[in-house]
Structure 1
Amino acid sequence: MNAVEIEEAISRLAEQPFDAEEFPFAFLEAFGNKATTIKRLRSGASNKSDLGGVLQINNIHIKVCEEGQVSDTIRALRESPATKNARNRVKFIMATDGITLEAEDLSSDIAPIVCPFEDFPDHFGFFLPLAGISTVKQIRESAFDIKATGRLNRLYVELLKDNPEWGTAERRHDMNHFMARLIFCFFAEDTDIFVKADQFTATIEQMSAPDSTNTHEVISTLFRAMNTKLEERDAANIPRWASDFPYVNGGLFSESVDVPRFSKIARSYLLHIGNLDWKKINPDIFGSMIQAVADDEERGALGMHYTSVPNILKVLNPLFLDDLREKLEEAGDNARKLLNLRNRIAKIRVFDPACGSGNFLVIAYKEMRAIEAEINKRRGEPDRRTDIPLTNFRGIELRDFSAEVARLALIIAEYQCDVLYRGQREALRDFLPLDAMNWITCGNALRIDWLSICPPTGKGVKMHGDDLFSKPLDQAEIDFENEGGETYICGNPPYYGGKLQSDEQKEDLESTFRSTSVNWKSLDYVAGWFFKSAQFVSRLDAQAALVSTNSICQGQQVPVLWPTLYSQGVCIRFAHTSFRWANLATHNAVVTVVIVGLSPAGKASKKRLYSISEDGSTISREVPNINPYLVAAPDVIVEANSKPGNNLPPMVFGNMPRDAGYLLLSPNERDELLAEDQRSEKYIFSFRGSDDFIHDKQRYCLWISDEDRDHARKINGIRERLEMVANARKQMKAASTQKFADRPHRFVQIQGVAKRKSIIIPRHTSERRTYLPVGLLDSKSIVADSALAIYDAPLWCMSIIASRLHRVWIASVCGKIKTDFRYSNTIGWNAFPIPSLTQKSKDDLTSSAQEILLAREAHFPASIGELYNPDEIPADLVAAHDHNDEVLERAYIGRRFRNDTERLEKLFALYSHVSDPAAPRRSDNFVEEGGQG
């Protein structure tokens, strides 16, 4: 169940007559518990309560009590041995008598709930962890936005049932515009913008027939009234019952006033929505959720579309808000400095070229209004009307309803700020009519000329398409406002890796990078926004900060994208290294992202790098430089090397059979083959891929040399398998595979085989593991192509791969699949910076590798996956790795590194010197300056 469904379920529960015996089970059912789970709780099979209540393990302990006993009962629940039993893992306790309800979250310091029983649905966010939904603070404290989203969704779906044509591509815009108008009216009637409280809802209830036959006509008339000036209403035949509504203008009620027909159910939904308290609307939350109402693909995730304010501020604060606050602090009470700062703020434009429902723009507006209000307070002008125009907040959004909501969210935010800083009377006086200007553009940001949305200050020429940055800006054809103002690009564009891109999105990237030699096919969709931002920033002296999956700063995308970005004349002014973009989400519906701030090259005197510490706090450091991997190190790009350039032995892919499975054997098939003919043993090898190695799965293969082919075919079981291989290869599409049909005894791709031993390295591994899985195989083991191998290499090579130092390198330069590390031999191993190792260092590393192997052996038969589970890794194995890290790191700098930040900075400094020997030796400086993080 999603958050909206849960809110609706508990609202229905609160409206029903209270049933003391049934309530605990109905409550748990409302949070998505299955019928079988409820049945086991009813029977007592899984109910662990010792107080006659209901205790669901890993969730909640509930007790219904006699009237007036709620506080005593919640105290008893808190002290209950069953609640305190660690094995029951109780997160919440709740007591109610049907009149009052109290609840506590035992796993956090969130304030407990004490409320009338009928009001507990308003606190549904408090209980969302019961449904496996991790929540952010803003959602837990504001149930209204999700409640409103759910009610509007029900109305939307009901209207489309009776008006299917409104759901077509031709009329979808009309439907979305209609919903935006409703939202405005609901807000306006609860915030005194309309003359009377509940004026819109009450008028519909009074003037429309209960059977709903004329509901659409009444609403259409109200919309027409709000688009007609007061002095023109008689001529427009506006009826008396609609004439009390104010003239809204602003384009919100212009165009068609056509309204879909209402069923009796739809009318009841509309009236119910109108009776909600719309004063509680939070535009920076509401907009991002309500956009899902109008999107068929996203409706199933209603209530999940929320970008938290703290995450947005991770972008906006270092982009420009921190600087404004710093200047405010410097100004003190100096009237002249405060005036200069206010004038500066009034000219700042914030541009989000993937604005969605306007979250970034709304937060930027509210934060700037807060700074302006403090300036006005210090200057003795607290009631002054704002100098910050909404037209300074510009956006591009592909979906028209989201664009509508973005503009509406800004309008609501402006009004709320006016009420907060100037008072209700002043806010109302200046609110209507709305300004008809609109700088939220509905369109494809990768196809639109950004200058037409957010033009340069002073004089310039309006350009389109490929002319965007090809013409000089001194061709004066039109005047632009905001002379001398600053422009800041921000946002969270769509990511989409290559395999997830639609044909249209691929065409967008092709069009964006047409003027370059960039191999755009290997790039994520978000790269298009970075490229256009780099062009905009460098030509117009602007600043930009975008959220992206960390893939554009890792692996193969770095050498493809970043040289082109740098060629536009930009640098990285600030960045936030990988962190989880934690929205209101269930299970794994979160993404690991970075934030990259771009400035014109040479104009960022101070560069700042942000990261998340182990305790969850944010670390901020001023650094000499930030490279494309978001490391405080020189601007180097790690290139793939076909061979090691660091005196290390070669690492190659494992071997690929392409055999339709006939050369591979399960343990049973191996035993059967041996039982049939013991001569088979010579040709049966262990077959080890990544999954086999990590989870100790046993597989085998037939490994037959050309010299042994004829002898092997004399064994009936082997001959039959080779014949099946030959037939299968003949039918395969790849011509290169078909050629091997007459050589069925061997693998199609053979990269190598060990004479003595192999070091195996899985190509993919979980990022949760503290160390990369690496192991040693004997000469009777064949490495599969899902893994990499170093054949007959010295054991100290395993020590390097098993080190923390190597892990941070892989994490930074090799990229990921989802959240898993993707090991690359060409970048991860061949380009790994390593100093010249003395024989003693190699001997010491060999010994530490042996210690790791012995520590693993002590826990036989535990698999690598079990041993390296980050929650259960044995202490002696941790000690072995720790000693290994110490040996290797002393070879680098003569001591242990302080942290991963220092490790990466040293590695990149070394790589910089190796890749460009003529470059200045900056490595030591980078280590000492950046290593304190």
Structure 2
Amino acid sequence: MNPVEIEQAISELAEAPFDAAEFPYAFLEAFGRKATEIKKLRKGDTNKSDLGGVLQRNNIHIATCVPGAVSDTLAALKNSAATTKFKAKFILATDGQEFEAEDLIGGETVACTFQQFPDHFGLFLPLAGISTVKQIRESAFDIKATGRLNRLYIELLKDNPDWGTAERRHDMNHFMARLIFCFFAEDTDILNGEDLFTATVDQMSNRDGSNTHEVISEIFRAMNTAIPKRAAANLPRWADAFPYVNGGLFSGSTEVPRFSKIAQRYLSHIGGLDWTKINPDIFGSMIQAVADEDERSVLGMHYTSVPNILKVLNPLFLDDLNAALEEAGDNRRKLANLRARIAKIRVFDPACGSGNFLVIAYKELRAIEAVINERRGEADRKTDIPLTNYRGIELRDFSAEIARLALIIAEYQCDVTYRGQKEALAEFLPLDSQNWITCGNALRLDWLSICPPTGTGVKFKSEDLFQSPLDQAQIDFENEGGETYICGNPPYLGSTWQSKEQKEDLERIFGARSKNWKSLDYVAGWFMKAADYGLHTATISAFVSTNSICQGQQVSMLWPLIYQSEHRIAFANTSFKWANLASHNAGVTVVIVGISNINIEEKKIFSVSDTGETVAKVANNINAYLVDAPDITVSKRAKPMSEIAEMTFGSKPVDGGNLLLSSEEVADLNLDVDVQRRFVRPILGSEEFISGKSRYCIWVTDQEADEAKSLPTIASRFEKVRAMREASPKAATQRGAAWSHRFDERRQSGDEKVIAIAAISSENRDYLPCGPLRDGTIISNKLFALYDAPLWNMALIASRLHWVWIGTVCVRMRTDFSYSNTLGWNTFPVPKLTEKNREDLTRCAEDILLAREAHFPATIADLYNPDTMPENLRAAHDRNDETLERIYIGRRFKNDTERLEKLFDMYTKMTTKVSA
């Protein structure tokens, strides 16, 4: 279950008649606990309570009680031996009138009426397997409102299926935006009357909802009719009480979908919520899912955390402004200059979604302006910051409308906070009709016309804020001397998952500049468009991106083009997880990269230390790998540049599957034991090596070929290999028909000592899968191998240093590492090792292998699960890292950023030396 579904279930439970005996089970069911779990608890099989309540191991201890005994019951639950013994995370007591609970891990408590406990449902989300984000837990209203609106939306589509078609989707979405405004406006006194909208609809509608659409339509018409024109408009008397809103929100068609009785009841319930609690920077990104059928399954998860947004905005411009504010102190002239500067700052998000980045930017600048006004003794001063300075482009029309609405709500809330509700109300209506959010494809629109450079004098005024043209929105704008900052979180999409239209988008941008553009991530388009924009005006841009644009082959494809536009990386936040709620975390590892054509004196790299702390480092230069190092590109090498063993692929069958065998197929060959031992070998690829799966192959030398062909079961497989290779369109494969008894590409005799390295492995492991194989094992081309190499080479591969290097310079497949011998191993900088260094590293590799052996038959996948990695194995790797890193710099590295900086410094010196 997602948070919206949970909130609905909990709300229904709070509204139902209280049943003391049934409540604990109903409460658990509301959080999505399985029916089999509930059944076992009811029977008493798994109920561990010692107080007559319900205790689910490792979860919650619940007890109902007689009226007035809630506090005493909660204390008894806390002191219960069973609570401690069975590790309950929560305790809960209620008598149907009062409700008390405590998070025994975090210490948070709840004490409220029974009817109010759904407002605190976020505390219990771990019961549903959801690790909560603090901002979401504190915003139960936003989830509740999203759920109510979603149910209304679905119900309306049932009765108005034509409104769900592509032709009318905009009408439906626009209608929902109008409703949201009405709910917010009536609870904040904007509509001149308590619950004016909801109460009017309830009073004037028939009980079956048959005329509700007509009532709402008249209300919308009234809010689009200026006061002087009201008499001629012939509005009903009850609609005349609504103010003139303008701004395009209610212009155009006032048609409303028809309401059933159920839909009208949903509308009433939504109006009953306290819309003063709306948080536009959270609500917007959740509500956008209401209109997207594919996204409703994770409704309530659409939330971009404010701290993550500030990782972009702080280094982009907020840190500088806050420093200027501190430097200004109480100097009235400096404060006035800073206020004038802030008033001219434009923030442009060309992938704005529901406006999160723009809303946060606006609120942060309003906060700085408020401090300035307070220091100057002008606390009641009207803001100088226009909403039109906050520009956006969004592909989905509903999200674009919500972005505009979110900014309007944010402006009103800031006015209330900094000037008071009376002043805010006096200036809120009518809304301005200027349009600052464009609905369209950001990679095909002209950014210069949507956010024109200062002083260009582009003149265009939209008549309708909420009915913008799909191509672009150009507005009257004079902002000479102002600063422009471009930011956002564009869609990432690796090349494999791009649609035909998205490929065309990238071709428009990169087709004439690069032959290899087809391999670029979709997000690269935003970086290039930002760089092109910067050719016309000084600007700084920063985007959240998958880290793949700063790794592997994409570095050489994208960044030289960025550099050609005179842009350099101004700041960067190295890899971190960008998540919504942990249970539904997409697991996307991202970076934040800021580019600028302005000379930034203090370039900063932000990274997470090994202790989990975010640290900032001032860099001389930030290269495309997000390292303080020169602007270089790591290129493939045929041989190692350091004194390490040569690495090659394993052998490639090219056999149509006929030389590869399962255990059953080995038995079907019907060979005696000695022959099977000679001609059948275990074979491993990355999957078999990591997961311990068994696979075999027919392995016959040229000298043994005639003997093997005399065995019918083997000979038939050779014949199939021959036929398959002869039928191939490739000449090289056809030539392989002459040696159908063996792998087409054979790189081992089968008698070597082999250290294997997985070609593909998950980035979630802290170390790369590698290790020696049992004698006689064949490796496929899905593994790399060091043949007859000293064991100390394994210590290098199994180190954090090598993990970081591979993760940076090699190609990624989704979020997995794609190892490369030519790009990753041959370029890996290793200092000259003494004999003592080699001995120490050999011992470290042996210790790792001994630690693994202690957990036989655990597989690599078992042993290197980051959540369950055995302590002795982790300790062995830690000793290996310490030994190796002391060879490099005489101590442990502080974090991965420092590791990369050292490696790139060595790489630069070694390649310069080689080329010289």
TM over 0.5, yes or no? yes
Instruction: Please report the TM-score for the alignment, with normalisation by the length of structure 2.
Output: 0.94
CA distance in 2, matches of 1:117, 1:695: 50
The amino acid of 2:103's aligned partner reads D
Deviates more, 1:326-335 or 1:395-404: 326-335
Give 1:58 deviation, angstroms: 2.7
Deviates more, 1:400-409 or 1:875-884: 875-884
Determine whether 1:113 maps to 2:110: yes
Correspondence for 2:804:
808
Correspondence for 1:655:
651
Retained in 2: the 8 A contact 1:679–1:715?
no
User: Residues 288-687 of structure 1 correspond to what in structure 2 (within 5 A)?
Assistant: 288-459=285-456, 480-600=477-597, 603-667=599-663, 669-670=665-666, 673=669, 676=672, 678-687=674-683
Give 1:62 deviation, angstroms: 1.0
The amino acid of 1:40's aligned partner reads K
Deviates more, 1:195-204 or 1:909-918: 909-918
Correspondence for 1:102:
100
The CA deviation string for residues 742-769 of structure 1, in whole angstroms up to 9 with x for no partner, is 6432223334445421110012333343
Retained in 2: the 8 A contact 1:135–1:583?
no
Retained in 1: the 8 A contact 2:610–2:895?
no
Describe the shift of the 1:918–1:427 C-alpha distance in structure 2 as closer, same or farther (beyond 3 A): farther
The amino acid of 1:380's aligned partner reads G
CA distance in 1, matches of 2:475, 2:61: 69
Secondary structure of 2:293's aligned partner: coil
The amino acid of 2:42's aligned partner reads R
Correspondence for 1:71:
71
In the alignment, which of 781, 789, 800 is matched to residue 785 of structure 1?
781
Give 1:895 deviation, angstroms: 4.5
Retained in 1: the 8 A contact 2:579–2:585?
no
CA distance in 2, matches of 1:696, 1:690: 10
The CA deviation string for residues 840-898 of structure 1, in whole angstroms up to 9 with x for no partner, is 43444344434433444455444333443445555554454444434433443344444
**Structure 1 runs (4+) greater than 6 angstroms displaced:** 460-463, 730-735
Give 1:441 deviation, angstroms: 0.1
Retained in 2: the 8 A contact 1:913–1:919?
no
The amino acid of 2:386's aligned partner reads P
Give 1:482 deviation, angstroms: 0.8
Correspondence for 2:464:
none
Retained in 2: the 8 A contact 1:395–1:440?
yes
CA distance in 2, matches of 1:615, 1:101: 39
Describe the shift of the 1:821–1:674 C-alpha distance in structure 2 as closer, same or farther (beyond 3 A): same
CA distance in 2, matches of 1:539, 1:450: 11
Aligned residues: 903
In the alignment, which of 826, 831, 847 is matched to residue 830 of structure 1?
826
CA distance in 2, matches of 1:199, 1:876: 67
Retained in 2: the 8 A contact 1:361–1:410?
yes
In the alignment, which of 901, 907, 916 is matched to residue 897 of structure 2?
901
Correspondence for 1:149:
146
CA distance in 1, matches of 2:10, 2:873: 49
CA distance in 1, matches of 2:436, 2:887: 58
Describe the shift of the 1:73–1:822 C-alpha distance in structure 2 as closer, same or farther (beyond 3 A): farther
The CA deviation string for residues 642-682 of structure 1, in whole angstroms up to 9 with x for no partner, is 43333433322222324343322334544665753632321
Describe the shift of the 1:55–1:605 C-alpha distance in structure 2 as closer, same or farther (beyond 3 A): same
In the alignment, which of 181, 184, 188 is matched to residue 184 of structure 1?
181
The amino acid of 1:763's aligned partner reads A
Describe the shift of the 1:123–1:888 C-alpha distance in structure 2 as closer, same or farther (beyond 3 A): closer
The amino acid of 2:61's aligned partner reads H
The amino acid of 1:357's aligned partner reads S
CA distance in 1, matches of 2:267, 2:452: 41
Secondary structure of 1:134's aligned partner: coil
Among all aligned residue pairs of Structure 1 and Structure 2, give the percentage whose two residues are the same amino acid. Answer: 66
The amino acid of 2:197's aligned partner reads F
Deviates more, 1:507-516 or 1:714-723: 714-723
The CA deviation string for residues 353-376 of structure 1, in whole angstroms up to 9 with x for no partner, is 000000000011111111111111
Structure 1: gaps (5+ residues)? 464-476, 921-933
Retained in 2: the 8 A contact 1:63–1:96?
yes
Describe the shift of the 1:64–1:411 C-alpha distance in structure 2 as closer, same or farther (beyond 3 A): same
Secondary structure of 2:284's aligned partner: helix
Retained in 1: the 8 A contact 2:51–2:63?
yes
Give 1:686 deviation, angstroms: 1.8
Secondary structure of 2:194's aligned partner: coil
The CA deviation string for residues 461-520 of structure 1, in whole angstroms up to 9 with x for no partner, is 799xxxxxxxxxxxxx99851110001111100111112111111111111113311512
In the alignment, which of 909, 912, 915 is matched to residue 911 of structure 2?
915
Instruction: Please report the TM-score for the alignment, with normalisation by the length of structure 1.
Output: 0.93
CA distance in 1, matches of 2:744, 2:190: 75
Give 1:171 deviation, angstroms: 1.2
Retained in 2: the 8 A contact 1:458–1:483?
yes
CA distance in 1, matches of 2:719, 2:649: 27
Deviates more, 1:586-595 or 1:169-178: 586-595
In the alignment, which of 86, 106, 131 is matched to residue 128 of structure 2?
131
CA distance in 1, matches of 2:376, 2:225: 40
Describe the shift of the 1:518–1:608 C-alpha distance in structure 2 as closer, same or farther (beyond 3 A): farther
CA distance in 2, matches of 1:397, 1:669: 56
Deviates more, 1:664-673 or 1:404-413: 664-673
Correspondence for 1:166:
163
Give 1:199 deviation, angstroms: 0.8
Correspondence for 1:799:
795
Describe the shift of the 1:218–1:881 C-alpha distance in structure 2 as closer, same or farther (beyond 3 A): closer
CA distance in 1, matches of 2:433, 2:792: 71
CA distance in 1, matches of 2:218, 2:184: 19
Correspondence for 2:694:
698
The CA deviation string for residues 56-100 of structure 1, in whole angstroms up to 9 with x for no partner, is 223211111222111111112122222212xx3422111111111
User: Residues 675-824 of structure 1 correspond to what in structure 2 (within 5 A)?
Assistant: 676=672, 678-726=674-722, 740=736, 743-753=739-749, 755-824=751-820
CA distance in 2, matches of 1:478, 1:271: 38
The amino acid of 2:98's aligned partner reads T
Correspondence for 1:923:
none
Deviates more, 1:520-529 or 1:47-56: 47-56
Give 1:537 deviation, angstroms: 3.1
Correspondence for 2:218:
221
CA distance in 2, matches of 1:125, 1:896: 41
Structure 2: gaps (5+ residues)? 461-473
CA distance in 1, matches of 2:135, 2:822: 45
Secondary structure of 1:73's aligned partner: helix
In the alignment, which of 269, 274, 286 is matched to residue 271 of structure 2?
274
The amino acid of 2:627's aligned partner reads V
Correspondence for 2:463:
none
Secondary structure of 2:63's aligned partner: strand
Describe the shift of the 1:884–1:275 C-alpha distance in structure 2 as closer, same or farther (beyond 3 A): closer
Give 1:173 deviation, angstroms: 0.9
CA distance in 1, matches of 2:555, 2:885: 27
The amino acid of 2:8's aligned partner reads E
CA distance in 2, matches of 1:462, 1:42: 71
Alignment root-mean-square deviation, CA: 2.4
The amino acid of 2:44's aligned partner reads G
Determine whether 1:248 maps to 2:267: no
Describe the shift of the 1:165–1:672 C-alpha distance in structure 2 as closer, same or farther (beyond 3 A): closer
User: Residues 868-879 of structure 1 correspond to what in structure 2 (within 5 A)?
Assistant: 868-874=864-870, 876-879=872-875
The amino acid of 2:567's aligned partner reads V
